[in-house]
């Protein structure tokens, strides 16, 4: 068994064989986006050095930046305490979001009630 196989086997994939991936800028820790991976996408990411995801809507793999030029060079990969979520720290080149914003969360804040902060 390779090191990649052992790491992939650690992930608790959901019923669809997927795990959510939180993508974070490696130096600022800014959250850039959320995506999905299956075992093959994780394998490609671990061995290729660039982020590869599974598109649930298109039902295909996509390596971030192949069409947009906005690449993600992978710095580290980790799983959470339950091994059901992946954390990818990357060096983002260009916007992370398909809408052209730096992150998928830019300008999308929701209103928090004053009572909720108490």
Rounded mean pLDDT for each run of 10 residues along the chain, 118 residues in total:
90 98 98 98 97 95 94 98 98 95 90 76
State the pLDDT at residue 115.
75
Q: Cα separation of 81 and 78, whole Å?
A: 10
State the pLDDT at residue 41.
98
State the pLDDT at residue 117.
62
> For the chain, which domains are there?
3-108 (3.10.20.810)
As beta bridge partners, residue 63 has 52
Q: Where are the alpha helices (DSSP H) in the chain?
A: 3-9, 39-48
């Amino acid at each position: 068994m390779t090191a990649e196989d052992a790491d992939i086997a650690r992930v608790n994939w959901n019923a669809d064989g997927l795990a959510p991936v939180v993508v974070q800028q490696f130096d600022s820790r800014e959250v850039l986006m959320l995506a999905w991976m299956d075992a093959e996408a994780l394998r490609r990411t671990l061995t290729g050095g660039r982020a590869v995801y599974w598109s649930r809507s298109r039902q295909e793999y996509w390596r971030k930046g192949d069409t947009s030029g906005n690449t993600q060079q992978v710095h580290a990969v980790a799983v959470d305490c339950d091994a059901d979520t992946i954390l990818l720290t990357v060096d983002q080149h260009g916007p992370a979001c398909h809408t052209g914003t730096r992150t998928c969360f830019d300008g999308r804040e929701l209103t928090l009630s004053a009572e909720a902060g108490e």
